[in-house]
Amino acid sequence: MFVLVNLKAYDCDPVAVAAAAADVAEETGARIAVAPQAARLGAVAATGVETWAQHVSPVAHGSHTGSTHADAVATTGAVGTLLNHSEKRLKLADIDAGLDAADAANLETVVCANNPDQIAAATALGPDAVAVEPPELIGGDESVATADPDIVRDAVDAAGEVDGDVDVFCGAGIATGEDVAAARDLGADGVLLASGVALADDPEAVLRDLVDPL
Amino acid sequence: MFVLVNLKAYDCDPVAVAAAAADVAEETGARIAVAPQAARLGAVAATGVETWAQHVSPVAHGSHTGSTHADAVATTGAVGTLLNHSEKRLKLADIDAGLDAADAANLETVVCANNPDQIAAATALGPDAVAVEPPELIGGDESVATADPDIVRDAVDAAGEVDGDVDVFCGAGIATGEDVAAARDLGADGVLLASGVALADDPEAVLRDLVDPL
Amino acid sequence: MFVLVNLKAYDCDPVAVAAAAADVAEETGARIAVAPQAARLGAVAATGVETWAQHVSPVAHGSHTGSTHADAVATTGAVGTLLNHSEKRLKLADIDAGLDAADAANLETVVCANNPDQIAAATALGPDAVAVEPPELIGGDESVATADPDIVRDAVDAAGEVDGDVDVFCGAGIATGEDVAAARDLGADGVLLASGVALADDPEAVLRDLVDPL
Amino acid sequence: MFVLVNLKAYDCDPVAVAAAAADVAEETGARIAVAPQAARLGAVAATGVETWAQHVSPVAHGSHTGSTHADAVATTGAVGTLLNHSEKRLKLADIDAGLDAADAANLETVVCANNPDQIAAATALGPDAVAVEPPELIGGDESVATADPDIVRDAVDAAGEVDGDVDVFCGAGIATGEDVAAARDLGADGVLLASGVALADDPEAVLRDLVDPL
C-alpha cells in the first residue's frame, strides 16, 4: 500500500509533516509520500521523504508563465505528481498532455477521478495509477472504504478492464489504520490522505496508526 | 455514414446551409445533420434537417447563467450534441456530466478527442460515438483520412477495445466524397465537416459530392 | 429603472415568462427584459418582450465551436447581453473582448461584478451598465438593497468615479416592488432578478408588484 | 526603473540567471528581480536576488490542491508576484481575490493587461503596479516602447486617471538598455523581460546593458 499525503494549501508546516513521514516510513518500511505546495517541494524533499507534486502543467518548456513545469518539479527532488485532483480538475486533453510532461521528467503519475467511468477513462490514458475520490466524501468524517465500498470495488474493476497494469488508489475520509486496511481489502493499491494528517496535532502518531496494519 | 456539419461561429447563413442539407438528405437518403450556434437551433430545426448542438453544459436545471442547458437545446428540436470539440475542450468530469445531461434530454452524443488514447478514454464514458480530430489537421487542406490514416485506424481500434458499441467518427480536412469514402474504408462510422460546407459558395453541391459515394 | 429577468437554466417555461413580462411592460410602461437560455432567444423574442442574452463569447466570426456568438444572438432579435455573471465569471481580457463582440452586434451590455472594486474595474471597460451582486446574497431571501445597502451605494460611487455615463444595476434577493424602490433610492438604475420571477407560481403577478412603485 | 525578469517555463538555469541578476543589481544599484517557476522560488531566493512569483492563486489556506498559495510563496523568500500575465489570464474576480491573497502574505503585486482599458480596470483593483504587454509583441524582436509607444503612454494615462499611486510597467520585446530608457521616457516605472535575459548566452551581460542607462 502506498500512502500519499496531500498537504493542499493547508495552514500547516510542510517540513514538519514531511520529517514525521520520513521517520515513520524509515522505521516501518511503509511507502509514504508527501505532496506539498510547489513552492515547498525542495524543502520537503530535503527531509528525505518521498516527495510528490500536487499538479504539473500540460506543457513542455517555453512561454508558460505561472505554469508548474514538470522539469522544475523534478529538479527539486520530487518523484511523482497527482493530476486531475477534484480541486484541480483538468481538461481530458490536458490530463493526456500532463502525463506526457510528467513522463518526460520521469515523474510517477496518479490521475484522480470521481467515479468508476472516469476511472476507466483515466486508466486509458496510461498513468502509473488512478485514484477514485467521491467528491461528496472528501473532507468528511467517514472513510470512502466504509461509506461507499462499492465505488472502490467498481473502480478497481473498471481500471482492471482497461489496463491491469495501472494501480488503483482511493481517497476521501481516510483517517485510521483500519480505513487503510479496509481500502486494501477492497483491492486498492494505495490511499490518498490530506487533512487527517496535515492538520493533525501529531501527524507522526496519525501516520504510525495509518501504516500499522500494513 | 453519418455526416455532421459543424457551423461553428462562421459568418454563414445557418438556415440556408440547413435547407440545403435537408434537401440532399431527403433526395439521397444520406444521414446529414447540421450543428449551428445554440441561438440558431430553432431556426435550423425548422428546416427539417437533423439538428445538433455544438455543446451542452454539464449541468442540470438550476442557477447556471450562460450555460447551454440540454433541455433547452432539445426543446428547439435538436436531437444530438457534440461534446469536447477541440475548440471547446472540457474537463474529464464535465464530459462525464455533459453526457449525463445530454442523456437526460434524449440527445445523441459525440465526444471529440485528439488522439487514440483520448478516444479510448472518451469511449469509456459511454457516449453514442467518439470523433477523432487531429488538431494540427483541423481547417487544413488535406483530409485526415489521407494525411494520417493510421490515426483513424488506431482510433477505431482503441474505441473497439473499450466498447464495441460506440461509433467512431473522424474529422479534419474532409472536403470531398472521396475523403468520406476513405474514412469509411478506414472503419469510421461518420465524418465531421465544418468550413468545407459552411463557407462553400454552394453548400448543396458540396454536400451532394460528399454523400455521392455512400 | 430597468428590470432584467435572468431565467438561468431554470426549469421554467421561458415563453410564458416572456409573454407575462411583455404584457406587464406594455400595460405599465416599465422597462422589463427577459434573458433566457441562448437556445430559446428566438422563441422569447417572438413574444415581443425585450430580449437579452445571458452571455456572449469574446470572439469574432470563425472557428469557435460551442461559443455564443454575439451576431447569432442579435439575429434572434435579442438586444442586449449580460457578461461576467457570478455563475459565468470571465477573464478580464474576455470581458473586454466580449464587450467588443457585443458592440459589433449592437447589443447593450451589463457587466456583473462582486463588489465595488470590481465594479470600478468593470466600469473602466466601458459597458453600458454594471451590476453589483454580492455572491453571498444571490438566491437568498433578503434583498441586497436591505441586507447590504452600502454595497449598492459604494458600487454607484465607484462606477461614478470612473465613468459617470455607465449605469449601475444591483441584484441578489430582489423579490418585491419595495426592494426595487429601495434599490432605486440607493442610486441604482436597474435591478437583476431571477428565481423570484422565473420560478414564481404567477410570474405576471410578481412582475406587476415589482414595477408598481416605479 | 524596476527590471523584472520572468523565467516562465524556459529551459534555462534559474539559479544561474538569479546569481547574475544579484551581481548586477548589487554592483549597479539597479532594482532587478527574477521570477522563476514556483518550484524554484527557494533556490532563486537563496542567491540573494529579489525574487518574485509568476502567479499566486486567489485562495486563502484550505483545500486547494494544485494551487500556488501566497503564503507558501512568501515562505520561500519571494517578495512579490505577477498576476494575470497574458499566459495566465485570470477571471476579474480572481485578480481581485489574488490581490487579497498576495496582500495577506505581504507580497508586492503587478497585474498585467493587454491594453489601456484593461490597465484602467486592473488599476481600479488596487495593485502596487500594472503592466501593459500587447500580446502581439510578446516574444517579438521589437520593443513595445518603439513598436507601439502610444500604448505605453495611454496605459500610463489610463492608470493615472484611476489611481495615481499605482506604478505602470511595460513589457514585450524589450532587449536593450535603449529599450529600457525609451520605456522610462514614456512614463513607465519598470519593465518586464523574459526570453531576452532568460535564454541569453550571457544573461549577466544582457542585464548590465539593460540597466546601463538607469
Bridging pattern class, strands D190-193 and D2-6 = parallel
Residues of D in contact with C95 (CB under 8 A): 92
Contact A105, A85 (CB under 8 A): no
Taking the CA of residue D56 and the nearest CA in chain A, the distance in Å comes to 8
Q: CA B122, CA B42: separation in Å to the nearest integer?
A: 29
Concerning whether D136 is annotated as a catalytic residue, the answer is no
User: Across residues A192-196, what is the average pLDDT?
Assistant: 93
Which of A37, A42, A66 lies closest to D43 in CB terms? A42
Which of C39, C59, C85 lies closest to B72 in CB terms? C39
* pLDDT given at position C173: 85
Q: CA D144, CA B171: separation in Å to the nearest integer?
A: 40
Interface check A67 vs B, CB under 8 A: no
Q: Catalytic: which of D50, D55, D69, D85?
A: D85
Residue C141, Cβ neighbours under 10 Å: how many?
Answer: 9
Taking the CA of residue A8 and the nearest CA in chain D, the distance in Å comes to 4
Grid cell locating D109? 503585486
Closest Cα partner for A34 from A1, A7, A63? A7
CA distances from B156 to A203, A207, B2, B84 (A): 50, 47, 15, 18
* pLDDT given at position D146: 86
- The answer to whether the CB atoms of A63 and D38 lie below 8 A apart is no
Q: CA C205, CA C27: separation in Å to the nearest integer?
A: 13
Residues facing residue A110 across a β-bridge: A82, A129
Helix (H, G, I), strand (E, B) or coil at A181: helix
- The answer to whether the CB atoms of A87 and D63 lie below 8 A apart is yes
User: Across residues A55-60, what is the average pLDDT?
Assistant: 97
Q: CA A164, CA A168: separation in Å to the nearest integer?
A: 10
CA distances from B140 to B134, B155, B173, C118 (A): 11, 20, 5, 42
Residues of B in contact with C71 (CB under 8 A): 11
Residue D49 banded pLDDT, cuts 50, 70, 90: very high
Q: CA B158, CA B162: separation in Å to the nearest integer?
A: 7
Q: CA C118, CA D97: separation in Å to the nearest integer?
A: 10
Grid cell locating B1? 455514414
Burial class, A13, CB count within 10 angstroms (exposed 0-12 / middle 13-18 / buried 19+): middle
**Chain B partners (3+ C-beta pairs within 8 A):** A, C
Q: What is the number of structural domains in chain B? A: 1
Chain A interface disruption, residue of D65, D88, D195, most A CBs within 10 A: D65
- The answer to whether the CB atoms of C82 and B65 lie below 8 A apart is yes
Which residues of A does the annotation mark as catalytic? 85, 133
| Matching residue, cell 415589482 | C210
Q: Is the pLDDT of residue D160 over 80?
A: yes
Q: Catalytic: which of D55, D133, D161, D178?
A: D133
Q: In whole angstroms, what separates CA C21 from the centre of its chain? A: 14
Bridging pattern class, strands C31-35 and C50-53 = parallel
Q: CA C158, CA D100: separation in Å to the nearest integer?
A: 19
User: Across residues D158-183, what is the average pLDDT?
Assistant: 93
Three-state secondary structure readout of chain B? CEEEEECCECCCCHHHHHHHHHHHHHHHCCEEEEECCHHHHHHHHCCCCEEEECCCCCCCCECCCCCCCHHHHHHCCCCEEEECCCCCCCEHHHHHHHHHHHHHCCCEEEEEECCHHHHHHHHHCCCCEEEECCHHHCCCCCCHHHHCHHHHHHHHHHHHHHCCCCEEEEECCCCCHHHHHHHHHCCCCEEEECHHHHCCCCHHHHHHHHHCCC
- The answer to whether the CB atoms of C37 and B11 lie below 8 A apart is no
Contact B113, A109 (CB under 8 A): no
| Matching residue, cell 489601456 | D116
* pLDDT given at position C172: 82
Taking the CA of residue D68 and the nearest CA in chain C, the distance in Å comes to 18
Helix D14-28 × helix D203-211 angle, to 10°: 30
* pLDDT given at position A165: 97
**Domain encompassing residue D63:** 2-211
Interface check D181 vs A, CB under 8 A: no
> CA neighbours within 13 Å on the CB side: how many for B193?
29
- The answer to whether the CB atoms of A41 and D39 lie below 8 A apart is yes
* pLDDT given at position D214: 81
Which of C114, C117, C125 lies closest to D117 in CB terms? C125
Q: Catalytic: which of C133, C136, C142, C161?
A: C133
- The answer to whether the CB atoms of D64 and A39 lie below 8 A apart is no
Which residues of B does the annotation mark as catalytic? 85, 133
Q: CA A45, CA A50: separation in Å to the nearest integer?
A: 7
In this predicted model, which residue has the larger pLDDT, D165 or D142? D165
**Chain C partners (3+ C-beta pairs within 8 A):** B, D
The three-point CA angle B192-B193-B195 to 5° equals 155
Chains B and A touch (3+ CB pairs under 8 A): yes
For chain D, percent of residues with pLDDT exceeding 90? 89
Q: CA C104, CA C72: separation in Å to the nearest integer?
A: 12
- The answer to whether the CB atoms of D66 and A55 lie below 8 A apart is yes
Residue A214 banded pLDDT, cuts 50, 70, 90: confident
Chain B interface disruption, residue of C4, C8, C37, most B CBs within 10 A: C37
Q: CA B41, CA A129: separation in Å to the nearest integer?
A: 42
- The answer to whether the CB atoms of A92 and B126 lie below 8 A apart is no
Bridging pattern class, strands B190-193 and B2-6 = parallel
The three-point CA angle C127-C59-C37 to 5° equals 75
Taking the CA of residue A52 and the nearest CA in chain D, the distance in Å comes to 11
Q: In whole angstroms, what separates CA B105 from the centre of its chain? A: 18
Which of B94, B96, B117 lies closest to A117 in CB terms? B96
Contact A139, D63 (CB under 8 A): yes
Residue D60, Cβ neighbours under 10 Å: how many?
Answer: 15
Q: CA B167, CA B111: separation in Å to the nearest integer?
A: 10
Average pLDDT along chain C, 214 residues, taken 10 residues at a time = 97 97 96 98 98 98 97 98 97 98 98 97 98 84 86 96 96 90 95 94 96 87
Q: CA A126, CA C87: separation in Å to the nearest integer?
A: 34
* Tens-place pLDDT, residues D109-144: 999 999 999 999 999 999 999 999 988 887 778 888
The answer for B 13-52 residues in CB contact with C (under 8 A) is: 14, 36-43
* pLDDT given at position D166: 98
Contact C198, C17 (CB under 8 A): yes
- The answer to whether the CB atoms of B96 and A118 lie below 8 A apart is yes
For D86, which residue in chain A has the nearest alpha carbon? A65
Taking the CA of residue B145 and the nearest CA in chain A, the distance in Å comes to 22
Which of C39, C59, C87 lies closest to B64 in CB terms? C87
User: Across residues D169-193, what is the average pLDDT?
Assistant: 93
Find the CATH number of the domain harbouring D181.
Answer: 3.20.20.70
Q: What is the DSSP string of chain D?
A: -EEEEE-TB-SS-HHHHHHHHHHHHHHH--EEEEE--GGGHHHHHTTTSEEEES---S--SBS-TT---HHHHHHTT--EEEES-TTS--BHHHHHHHHHHHHHTT-EEEEEESSHHHHHHHHHT--SEEEE--GGGTTSSS-HHHH-HHHHHHHHHHHHHH-TTSEEEEESS--SHHHHHHHHHTT-SEEEE-HHHHT-S-HHHHHHHHHTT-
Residues of B in contact with C9 (CB under 8 A): 57, 59-65, 67, 69, 72
Grid cell locating B151? 490515426
User: Across residues A124-131, what is the average pLDDT?
Assistant: 98
Where would I find the H helices in A29-91? 41-45, 70-75
Contact D18, D205 (CB under 8 A): no
Contacts of B124 by beta carbon, 8 Å cutoff, 6+ apart: A117, A120, A121, A123, A124, A158, A162, B162, B163
Interface check D130 vs C, CB under 8 A: no
Taking the CA of residue C56 and the nearest CA in chain B, the distance in Å comes to 8
* pLDDT given at position A157: 97
- The answer to whether the CB atoms of D91 and C96 lie below 8 A apart is no
Chain B interface disruption, residue of C63, C83, C95, C109, most B CBs within 10 A: C63
Q: ipTM of this model?
A: 0.96
Grid cell locating B169? 467518427
For C115, which residue in chain D has the nearest alpha carbon? D93
Concerning whether C85 is annotated as a catalytic residue, the answer is yes
Q: Which residues of chain B have pLDDT under 70?
A: none
- The answer to whether the CB atoms of A114 and B125 lie below 8 A apart is no
CA distances from A155 to A94, A134, A150, A183 (A): 22, 11, 8, 12
Grid cell locating D108? 508586492
- The answer to whether the CB atoms of C126 and D118 lie below 8 A apart is no
